């Protein structure tokens, strides 16, 4: 009897065939599962968006426009949809006291905003200027969102006005000037580096900075967005109190308000408005003065508060004073602050404004960098 050996599969070939079948089926099952999860995610995203809109969006209509509209929490948004593109330059609105609100103006997908605060003034009627950049471009939707406060949020009487006479609004708080705003986006890992630097500063009693303390950030200012570098600034730890840190910012290319390098800090570190008045006096007398102003600051979407904006020393400072570019001399204070850090009393278990406590720290001197450093 003859046997056709070509029809007999080798055991190894059978194993390879079975393995290929198993692999093919596994890939097919995996593809089906991935497709299922992708479709489910898209459906859930759409469902979540519709749920948020239906549960946290409060429409302002002609029927309730002059009534008090409660906003149960910070998640809620009062939305005024306009039938046409508006260009009115004043917003009349009443807001709950001890709170902070964000007024956002949309034109399609584009938007811009300003902050309204009732923190220290109680329930207030506002006649608030809408910045020229917003009113000139126009807007077709207005959103009012609570950012911070005592959870008793409400709005009342939203009206858009074009050049009203303040005499007709004696009970309103008039804000007829534009308030600068600065939005900063920092990666969470880089934010952790800044937190570690703040811990070190509190342990030392002073802030010692180096060039490599800068971390990357994205800054939106003056209607522009650009990459930047940012670090903590200030010598004493009053620049790090209450979770409201002072920063030195270096822009990559764009120059917000004509500056590529500037500082923002708690106004209290410059004696409130005193620094502003002094710089204004110097400028009025024909001297070289820093550009100095106040602004609302948001970091990673969270409203931090009002900061003082202070120009740094570079050729733009000199040119802004109508002088020719020339040398700027600076005294090096590094050794002074390192001695202060070395001889300052140890600070342990200090709340440095981030809701955390410092551990025990060891002061060491680095021969390579010739700087005092803190090690946990």
Domain ranges for the chain, please list them. Answer: 12-56, 60-177, 183-375
Paired with 128 in beta bridges are: 91, 175
Specify the pLDDT at position 224.
Answer: 83
Cα gap 263→228, rounded to integer Å? 13
Q: Which fold has domain 60-177?
A: Jelly Rolls (2.60.120)
Tell me, what's the pLDDT at 215? 93
**CA 3/CA 94 separation, integer angstroms:** 98
CA 25 to chain centre: 49
User: pLDDT tens digits, residue range 295-329?
Assistant: 999 999 889 889 999 998 888 888 887 788 878 77
Q: What is the pLDDT along the chain (376 residues), one digit of tens a residue?
A: 554 545 545 555 566 666 777 777 777 788 788 777 767 666 655 544 444 545 689 998 888 888 899 998 888 999 999 989 999 999 999 999 999 999 999 998 888 999 999 988 889 999 999 999 899 999 999 999 999 888 889 999 899 999 899 999 999 999 999 889 999 999 999 999 888 888 887 777 778 778 888 999 999 888 788 999 999 988 777 788 777 899 999 988 877 888 889 999 999 888 888 898 988 998 888 888 889 999 999 999 889 889 999 998 888 888 887 788 878 777 776 666 666 666 665 444 344 443 333 444 444 545 455 454 545 4
Quote the tokens at residue 258: 């004509």
Residue 38: how many CB atoms within 10 A of its CB? Answer: 10
Distance, in Å, from the CA atom of 129 to the CA atom of 175, rounded to the nearest integer, reads 6
- Tell me if residue 144 falls in helix, strand or coil: strand
d(CA 33, CA 255): 50
Ramachandran category for residue 163: left, alpha or beta (phi over 0 → left; psi -120 to 50 → alpha): left
Answer for the pair 347, 205: CB distance below 8 angstroms, yes or no. yes
Structure tokens at 225: 């967005």
Which residues does 81 contact at the CB level (< 8 Å), separation at least 6? 59, 140, 141
């Amino acid at each position: 009897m003859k046997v056709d050996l070509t029809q007999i599969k080798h055991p190894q070939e059978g194993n390879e065939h079975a393995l290929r079948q198993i692999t093919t089926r596994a890939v097919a099952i995996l593809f089906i599962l991935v497709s299922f999860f992708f479709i489910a995610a898209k459906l859930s995203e759409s469902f979540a968006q519709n749920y948020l809109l239906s549960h946290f969006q409060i429409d302002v209509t002609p029927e309730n426009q002059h009534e008090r509209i409660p906003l149960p929490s910070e998640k809620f948004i009062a939305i005024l949809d306009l039938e046409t593109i508006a260009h009115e330059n004043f917003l009349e609105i009443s807001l709950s006291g001890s709170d902070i609100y964000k007024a956002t103006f949309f034109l399609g997908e584009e938007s811009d905003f300003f902050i309204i605060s009732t923190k220290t003034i109680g329930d207030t009627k506002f006649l608030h200027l809408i910045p020229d950049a917003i009113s000139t471009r126009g807007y077709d939707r207005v959103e009012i969102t609570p950012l911070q406060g005592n959870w008793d949020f409400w709005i009342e009487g939203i009206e858009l006005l074009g050049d009203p006479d303040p005499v007709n609004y004696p009970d309103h708080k008039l804000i007829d000037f534009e308030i600068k705003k600065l939005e900063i986006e920092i990666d969470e890992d880089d934010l952790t580096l800044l937190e570690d630097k703040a811990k070190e500063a509190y342990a030392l009693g002073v802030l010692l900075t180096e060039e490599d303390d800068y971390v990357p950030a994205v800054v939106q200012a003056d209607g522009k967005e650009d990459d930047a570098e940012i670090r903590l600034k200030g010598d004493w730890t009053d620049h790090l109190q209450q979770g409201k840190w002072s920063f030195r910012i270096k822009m990559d290319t764009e120059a917000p308000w004509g500056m590529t390098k500037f500082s923002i800090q708690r106004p209290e570190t410059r004696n409130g408005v005193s620094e502003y008045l002094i710089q204004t006096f110097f400028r009025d007398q024909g001297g070289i003065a820093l550009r100095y102003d106040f602004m609302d600051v948001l970091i990673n979407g969270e409203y931090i508060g009002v900061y003082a904006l202070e120009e740094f020393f570079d050729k733009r400072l000199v040119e802004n004073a109508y002088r020719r570019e020339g040398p700027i001399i600076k005294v090096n204070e590094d050794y002074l602050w390192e001695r202060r850090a070395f001889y300052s009393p140890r600070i342990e278990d200090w709340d440095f404004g981030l809701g955390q406590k410092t551990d025990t720290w060891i002061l060491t001197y680095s021969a390579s960098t010739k700087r005092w450093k803190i090690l946990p």
